[in-house]
Structure 1
Amino acid sequence: MTTRTAPTALWPTAPLDDPAPAGDPGSAAEDAERLEAAVVASDAPDTVFALSRHGRRTVRSGGTAPPPGAAREDLRYEIGSATKTFTGLLLARLIRAGRLTGGEPAVACLAPGRGAGADPVTLAHLITHTAGLPALPPGFRARALPAWRTNPYGRFPADRVVDAFLRHRPHRRPGTRWRYSNYGVAVLGHALAAATGTAWEELLTGHVLRPLGLAGTALAPEGPAADAVGHTKDGSAPVPPFDAGGFQAAGAVRATPHDLLTFLEAHLDPDGSPAADALRAVRVPVLRRGWDHRHVHTIAWFRHPVDGGPMYFHSGATLGQQAFLGFRPDTGTALAAVCTRRFRAHDPFVAGAYALLAET
């Protein structure tokens, strides 16, 4: 997707303009009723809707399949592209710690000594989807085709992602157009690892997961006792656990609903968190695009206006699971929703989760 007007890219230094949280407008019973309705409407084998309002949690789960061996809310779910919110926070933490600026050319990180050119793709371009890269790297579809319905990303490992980038010439000058790119964020993960001399998994664990106390979050499958099982679009058949291949920074995270709420609650109330500065930074708009600049982004979240103030959100999907994460500072509310069914046309899950948070 491209924009009709050039984006205005800023790095997050401005103060937050979000309003203070309003008083609690809903009761626990009302929240539970809304969540139960959302679970039923999702029509998936396993579904969990977890809501936090001023720290009060309400969780409802269910599904069309028989209950798994463990409680649905205790399983880890693949969150797909919502992983990018973790990667954005990681980058913000590295910037706040003075280890990076965000302006580093990705080529300089991945191939030291190689010239970056006049208009290099920077780390900031990669996280904001303004690097001029396509959604997927050249050659991806041909290599992934034999596993297109099982695990296409697993056939494109890290070295191929990096090599494709180092050979690539952007079709547009970086920073001039927005185009959502799993490829770009994947490259960012490898650039962060190269620039710091630390594997992405170790970076994310040390700078995000451990400081926020996310013990129920993993970066690879950990077996049927811990992980939810994904299903096809109609929910009739299971699919293998997702293999992110070289796209870890774009889609590898799997987490329990309670961990996802903890992650979101940290964004709502950064005070006292070891990641406080970065949590505030990822709420600041850095990009406005489209007609009248109506589409607003931070380095981690989509940001939409709702009555009372902005709503931050990101969704994600793998071949057999879906996730929606969002929070509203004006109402002190966060929502983590997950389900085990492949995304389908006119899917009720993401639309229902978005509407629930927007109206809550």
Structure 2
Amino acid sequence: MLADAARTVDAPDVVIAVSRYGERTVHRGGVAPAGPVPRELLRYELGSASKPFAGLLLARLVAQDRVRYEDRAADLLAPGHPVHPAVRAITLRHLMTHTSGLPALPADFYPQAVPRWSTDPYRGYPADRVVRAFLRARPRHRPGTRWHYSNFGVSVLGHTLAAATGTPWEILLHQQVLGPLGLAATLLRPGPADTDATGHRRDGSPVPALDPGGFTAAGAVRSTPLDLLTFLEAHLARPPGPAPAAPAAPAAPAAPADQTLAAALAEVVRPVLRRGWRHGHTHTLTWFRHPSAYGPVLFHAGATLGQQVFLGFRPESGLAIAATATRRVRRGVPFVATAYGLLTETL
């Protein structure tokens, strides 16, 4: 089944990694010859699939009583700075759940990005510019009233948490999420030579490594499929009864001993809002949540200029899937649909 799924994805490198209660199966494929480093050991750019990491970090800081979901971002980020009343009302929860009223990206992002849209659109928009754009923003909708996907909002969340804790985002994420979960191969910047996957354009030419500029919290994580499985497995409750058979690949670490991390993992799978046609789509703090024949599925996809990632899990059946590909094609290559189908249809 995994081999068939991989063959539908027209990408130089494809990895589909599956775990059921810690027992792992990893399929490697792609239209290009395999390189010297096994595909499942390379780091892939997660793009928007970085957001579940940001949400888990927020949930853990809340569990530690360092911030609250209802804290106002502007008060933490720039106390006393004059802002629009709607901006003053934006909370940390609004930023993480895409209900802040902010657009997908700041209005002044596009003029500097368009000339290098296919190569490096984010590098010219650093962190201080993201913060300034937020403080002068005029939200399109009253915070908390509408859902609108926003890289801008999650990026502001990252800068706000860094300001509130006095800790740079990268260090904060390592201290609170990556380190405790044992994600040693997960980084927020390119790794040593030959450790990162290379993205490709539709014509097969390579794409430079992503520089997220000031949008780090929304899309800077890069990780291996095996680390991604470990991250997903942490969200899954173990079944009652005997322990599962020994895994085919390294299994996830034991359930987190730190109660604040355990509380955060429980919090991020809890439904918090509905949207879409007849409010049929449910969302948690960090995940899209859909029904399936085998219970709810939680997932998030991500893409950069030359790579795609899908992360998903089914809590009721202990199933987790991490899929990566080194080509991004908007149409004709059903990468997300293929991975989503595996998640929803696999027994």
Alignment of 1:272 onto 2:255? yes
Partner of 2:208: 240
Residue from 161, 166, 184 that aligns with 2:153: 184
User: Which AA in structure 1 matches 2:71?
Assistant: E
Contact 1:317 1:343 in 2 (8 A): no
- SS of the equivalent of 2:60 reads helix
Counting only pairs closer than 5 Å after superposition, residues 274-289 of structure 1 correspond to structure 2 as 274=258, 275-289=261-275
- Give 1:312's aligned residue: 298
Q: How does 1:316-355 map to 2 (within 5 A)?
A: 316-355=302-341
SS in structure 2 of the partner of residue 93 of structure 1: helix
The normalised TM-score by structure 2 is 0.91
Shift of 1:68: 1.6
Deviation sequence 1:292-338 (CA, Å, 0-9, x none)? 32111011100000013100000000001000000001211000000
Secondary structure at the residue paired with 2:79? coil
Q: Counterpart in 2 of 1:80?
A: 47
- In the TM superposition, what whole-angstrom CA distance separates every residue of 1:35-93 from its partner, at most 9, and x where no partner exists? 11111111200010000012110001111112122010110000110000000000000
Contact 1:108 1:115 survives alignment (8 Å):
no
TM-score (norm 1): 0.88
Residue type at the aligned position of 1:157: P
Q: 3-state SS of the aligned residue for 1:288? A: strand
Q: Deviations over 1:168-225 (max 9, x none)?
A: 1112110001000111101110011011111111110000000000001010011441
- Rounded Cα–Cα distance in structure 2 between residues aligned with 1:340 and 1:224: 17
Matching residue's letter, 2:276: G
Which of 113, 118, 133 is the equivalent residue of 1:149?
118
The worse-fitting range, judged by mean Cα deviation, of 156-165 and 271-280 is 271-280
Q: After the TM superposition, which of the residue ranges 71-80 and 336-345 deviates more from structure 2?
A: 336-345
Secondary structure at the counterpart of residue 131 of structure 2? helix
Contact kept in structure 1, 2:119 and 2:208, CA below 8 Å: yes
Q: CA deviation at 1:115?
A: 5.3
Q: Which moved more, 1:192-201 or 1:286-295?
A: 286-295
Q: Tell me the amino acid that sits aligned with residue 123 of structure 2.
A: G
Counterpart residue identity of residue 249, structure 1:
A
Please tell me whether residue 45 in structure 1 is matched to residue 28 in structure 2: no
SS in 2 for 1:258: helix
Structure 1 residues 101-110 or 210-219, which shifts more?
A: 101-110
SS in structure 2 of the partner of residue 57 of structure 1:
strand
Identity of aligned residues (%): 60
Residue segments in structure 1 that go unaligned for 5+ positions in a row: 1-33
SS in structure 2 of the partner of residue 154 of structure 1: coil
1:358 aligns with 2:344: yes
Q: Distance in 1 between matches of 2:194 and 2:332?
A: 32
2:244 corresponds to which residue? none
Distance in 2, matches of 1:343 and 1:221, equals 23
CA contact (8 A) 1:145 1:152 kept: yes
Indicate the SS of the match to 2:339. helix
| CA drift at 1:355 | 0.5
Map 1:17-28 onto structure 2 (within 5 A): none
CA distance in 2 between partners of 1:104 and 1:343 (Å): 39
What secondary structure sits across from 1:153 in the alignment? coil
Q: Is the 8 A contact 2:83 2:135 kept in 1?
A: no
Q: Is the 8 A contact 2:234 2:255 kept in 1?
A: no
Partner of 1:262: 230
1:252-288, CA deviations, whole angstroms, 9 ceiling, x for partnerless residues? 0000000000000000038831321100100001111
Q: Aligned equivalents of 1:186 and 1:117: distance in 2? A: 19
Aligned match for 1:213, one of 182, 198, 206: 182
Q: What is the total number of aligned residue pairs between the two structures?
A: 326
Q: Which residue of 1 aligns with 2:246?
A: none
